[in-house]
Structure 1
Amino acid sequence: MPYDKKIAIFDASAVKGVENTLGRLGAAVLETAWGNGGGRAQLPELAAVPEFLRTDGTWHVARLRPEYDLGQIHSGRGPIVAAAVADYERVGHGYAVTALLYTPDGPDPLLFTRNRAVELRTCRGWGDPDRLRRALDLIAENGPPPVDREATVRAFAEATGLSPAQCLILLSTSARTLSWPDGWARGRVAAFREGDTARARELDLTEIELRIAALSLEALTTTDEAVEVVELLMPDDPADLWRTGPDLDRAVAYWTDRHPRLTPLTTEQWVTVASGAEDALEALIALLGERPSVPPLGHIARAVRLLADRLPKDHPARTAAPPACVTCTNTSPARTRHCPSPPRSPRSPPWNEQPERPRPTSRRAGSPSAKPSP
């Protein structure tokens, strides 16, 4: 295919909404099962198009910033079997486009570069046509599985140390999609679908709580990891969703292999600690989880102060922070720098009220007044 050939102009209405299902078929089945059978309309249509369900890394959902024509996709290095523009929206002085791209030879960096891809998700995950049809039949026969969304979110939070708000977003079957106009940038959360919205109301989550939760996840994980966690919740055999529930052990193992368990903070405590200090979130997470990655040491020092100043005195994160700080500092080239210690006990006077100690008189070796060492 010629390098400069414009390969397609599309009708967005034909594929609108498919971008949230490609590579997220496990999430779509869980949403349908947990949602009392709602949202089933599009899944049988997908089952009838096997090419849409490929999970071998040949489908991509990309957010593009085209210079001129919104409906045109430029070719890359390899062949493109199918492409479509699923949605677009005006952003600033230009447009952002959600495009579906099918490249049988795998990811094509030149294709993504030439079309100015600013966000990209290569579709993998759970599913094939047979398993999808089997799952839909089981939902129709049995209704919702016995282990519901709330129990799954709660168990995942207990195993990982994440807050309820963080788990609601991370394990959402709808919020971790390409969203407009900035995805998770600056803590923007895509609009929840009905089940997640109801759960947020049940938890009395406020806008600032969801925003801080989204920002902390943005500092902690990636789009691909978050999508994969939900896909791993869906058992390989759809019938197991009713026999044993979501595959929580597999999802937790995937997560903890990449992220140590955090010292738990409640949703409200995350807001208390991080409000106005969003730039220190990565360092806060490093302290709470003793991660080997090292943020700038100035941020580590600030994070220690935030935990000390804003958490209750008996909170375990206050005592866990200094050892974690030492761990992070020891992995840094600048090992001579240290993070501040926790606040002094109330019984100890501040540093500027400590009794002055006599200073030893300094004498040069060899001077007449220097006394020999004993």
Structure 2
Amino acid sequence: MLDKIELRLRATASGEPARLLSRRLSWRAEHGMSRSAPLLELVARLADRLRGDGVAVTNPSGSSFFSELDVYDLFVAEGIPFELDVPRQIELSDWFADDGPGRRPLLSLGTHPVFEAGFRKSCLWLLGDHRFGADVGGFPIHPNLLARALSVPGVAAALTAEVDALTASLGAAPLGEVQRIMYRLGTLRSPAGYAAFKPFLERIAALDAPAALARTLRCGLPEELVWPPYEQASAALDAGTMRTDQEWPLLAIHDARTAVVLGPSGVVARHELAVPARDGIDGQFRPRCTLHDGRLLVSWRQGGSERGYWADTPGVEFDADLGGLVLGPMTRLPVSEDIVPGGRFEPVPGAGPVRLRWRRDLWPDAPAVFGAADGVTGWDVIDTAGAADGVTGWDVVDIAGGAVVRSVDGRQVPLPPTVRAATIMGVLALPGGGDRLVTVDQFGAVTVWDPATGTPAYGPAKPEGLPPAGWWDLLRPRDPAGSAALRTGGPVTAVTDPVLAAAVGRQAAIAATLAATVEQYRALRHEPARPPVPVTADDITIADALSGLTHASRFTEHRRGSRTSTVPEYKLMGFLDALPAALDGERPRPSAGVAGWTRVLAGLGAVALRAAMPTTPPPEREVLAALLTALADAGLADGSAGLSVLTVVTDGQLNGEQAAGLGMRAVAAESIGGGFDRSCWRLIVHGTVPDRPDVRVVERTPLGGWGTAGTVRRFVDLLAERGPVTWRPEWAASFPDLAVEPATVLLTGATYCAASDEVTAPPSYLEVTGLSAAAARAASDAFSALPKGRLLHLLNAAMPLDPAALWESGPDTARLASAWREPSPPPYEFQPGLE
């Protein structure tokens, strides 16, 4: 087939193969097609023709979410001409998830200017991408996933280049940039990461946190400034419920009881809210106070709709659907209507043309911290000498030679290449000397940029006690002497204003956290490499190996064969590996990956029995042994670590941080049901649990359920030494409570009792047990119908207390018979509406 297509394309006119390929790539991009080995082979065959024609392959649909990595890697390697906008997002996780043939090493792709920068960033983000099987949030990547990424030469090269570039800038960066870099590199903070990137992570280990703090304070904090009327008004409101609304030139702030309207000269009006009490869900929605053509509207949710009144006529209530009201002109950040793009304004001496401009009239007598001239504030983006033409959209990007932001009063600062023009607020004049670029994102978070490095020194964050940035021209210094001390790098004790002192304290706390993280990197120098976890120990394989033994609730149970993703994840193994550090006070990892896995903590004998049986698939045997070892190492094989497993019913959510607020030290929290404002969680808790009316403990699950941590480790050693036990049919024949077929299925671990309809016992299972496929499935279905938790209880009883006895005399049928005749305690099941 490919031969015919190649011959037909070679017979076409010059440039036609490139045009046909362009249309094909556009269609594939629109339809989200996966890797195509025939397409790659065809391109390789036609490489000489495509080069000779000199007509570029185009793909207008492929630059937003770019996924054709293999095709363009081949283009670059073969010198095939193409035209493509710089991709905004490279779908590297999807590329790893695609197990189809034709995968290329990506070495060429990562060296091409169109892809290089984005590819390097995408490779690093991959290490924290949940679609790749990693944890989002800066947790170290599992060693198996890191090895998977590094196994692709182009990804390994891009990661090395990106880690090198990021760590090289740490020594001169302020706290804001250091935080960003440390977050991005957090996935590598492990023995495996240190082994792979030691020369670069050593730069983190050498980081001087106090010096980064000093650079940040010299650059400046927004809290050095104050608008006294705003600060006084906001101080009288509840900070936890305070909200803000803007309308030129007014500003409204309010909590659940009081609203204050401010203008340039101070407080314009104060209003005590008259919002009726509301029951149910509506009562949980806070009231709103919004400005419309100078009038203050108080509104709230009631009966599923919006009700409200005007503050100047409080007795007249009406339907207040804000979508039907005519909104007045709003004070806002600079947006596209405010910015004049690309025009050639008056030339600036010693610089290139003005590229972008923004102006606004000032309030009378405003301090104008962003600069003023003739009653106007604003800024220009100006090309520096030798810059090339070009502005892309509203972003200033790739301007050769750089650009500056110049305020109307002549002060100027460099424009960092990563700053979007639509976020620029102006050139801030700080007390004590120094001009700084300030940007504000669409959420109101402020960033103060370091002019020396072009990186964030502060933020993005919302400064405490300051109004939205549109009112910053009303700010003035709150502690000039303290600010001067910060500019010179002097002692922070010179700061006397309590608000500024608190802001300095927050930056010092960030530096202290940074110093602690640096110590963790230093400790990696001496931390021995741990034995590798089997590559097969991903969450789906563990869930298959435990199928029938675990369940989160009667509504959620993993069934073997229900795999929905081909991307391996190691969330459970990563959690168990990090649990000892969490017990020492480090932030716990999310417990995820295998729903209901905490159930097996009450029956590790069942896990051991299944692992030792010859009917268990070898990869799953390896996985179960690794899981048992990890549980023992994490302190979950018995009660020696001071942990307990609780099932609790409470209001709302209950993650680790929320549990801490209720007086519990939870190192894992798994949701197992919810509804009607109540939820059910299973927690692994360290220490005692306080007696609280809003947290009802409905179940305590003992740890281990069979032996001790020493017993578990001895079993794993015996399994490695002796291999699986040899099945003896007389074990099933001697069990008095069941016929031979179901007894055989039970004593071999009931491996396939929770399987999807298309899964049947493999020939190897039937050969060992002597069962027919129909008999094995019928018995497995019968055990699947047992009450939840019953199978775990039975198999746990069948595992001998002395692990060696399993190889010598088989399962403990006497203990199993006793457990069979007595009902096992049913696990708690959450019933929404009955709690």
Q: How does the TM-score come out when normalised to structure 2?
A: 0.22
Q: Which has the higher helix share?
A: 1
Q: Which has the higher strand share?
A: 2
Q: TM-score, normalised by structure 1?
A: 0.44
Q: Which has the higher contact order (CA 8 A, sep 6+)?
A: 1
Which structure has the larger Rg? 2
